[in-house]
Amino acid sequence: MPRLCLGGRAILALTASSILLLVGCSRRLVFDHLRQADRIEVRANAEVLRTTADPETVHHARAFIVARADGWRQNWAGTPIPVFVIYFYSGNRAVGGYGVGADFLTNDPGGGSLSRSAVATECEDLAAALGVSLQRR
C-alpha cells in the first residue's frame, strides 16, 4: 500500500473536510407554527390550484409535513423546484409554506432554502388528497 507523505495526508484531510461541508448535515425542523393553521392554499407558480379550510384536509397536509421533520439539508447545487407549494394560513396570516416534488420536499425560502427526500408514492398520495397533480405544467 502506498504511503502518503505528510503533505499528502493534509491534502486528503482537506479534501474530505470539503466534501463533508458540501454535503452538509441534515437538520430536524420544528413545525409548531403549523398547529395554528386553519386553511391551506396550494399553488403552482403564481396559479392557485386549490384553497380549502376543510379541517380534515388541512390536518392531512400538516401531518404529512410534520411527519417528515428529519433529514432537511441545504443543497449546495440549489434548492430543487417543487411542482406545487402548500401555504398554511391562520386566518389571513401565512404561517408557512412547503413545496412538494415527485420525490422531495422544500421549505419556504424564508426559512433557509432547505429540502429533503421523500417517498414518491407518498408525495403522489398527498397530491391526490389535495386534489392536485404532481405532473409539471
- Strand pairing category for 114-117 and 104-107: antiparallel
8 Å CB contact between 98 and 86? yes
Provide the domain limits for residue 62: 26-130
**DSSP codes joined into one string, 37-79:** --EEEEEETTEEEEEE--HHHHHHHHHHHHTT-S-BEE-TT-P
Per-residue model confidence (pLDDT) at position 7: 52
Give the dihedral sign, CA 65/68/73/75. negative
Closest CA to 86 of 115, 58, 116, 110: 58
User: CA geometry: angle at 84 spanning 73 and 78, to 5°?
Assistant: 35
pLDDT, tens digit (0-9, with 9 covering 90-100), for 85-96: 999 999 999 999
**Is residue 114 situated within a structural domain?**
yes
Total domains present in the chain: 1
In this prediction, the residues of the chain whose per-residue pLDDT falls under 50 are 4, 8-22
**Is residue 119 situated within a structural domain?**
yes
Question: What is the 8-class DSSP label of residue 128?
Answer: H
**Is residue 54 situated within a structural domain?**
yes
Give me the CATH number covering residue 121: 3.30.1490
pTM of the model: 0.79
> Which amino acid, residue 39?
R
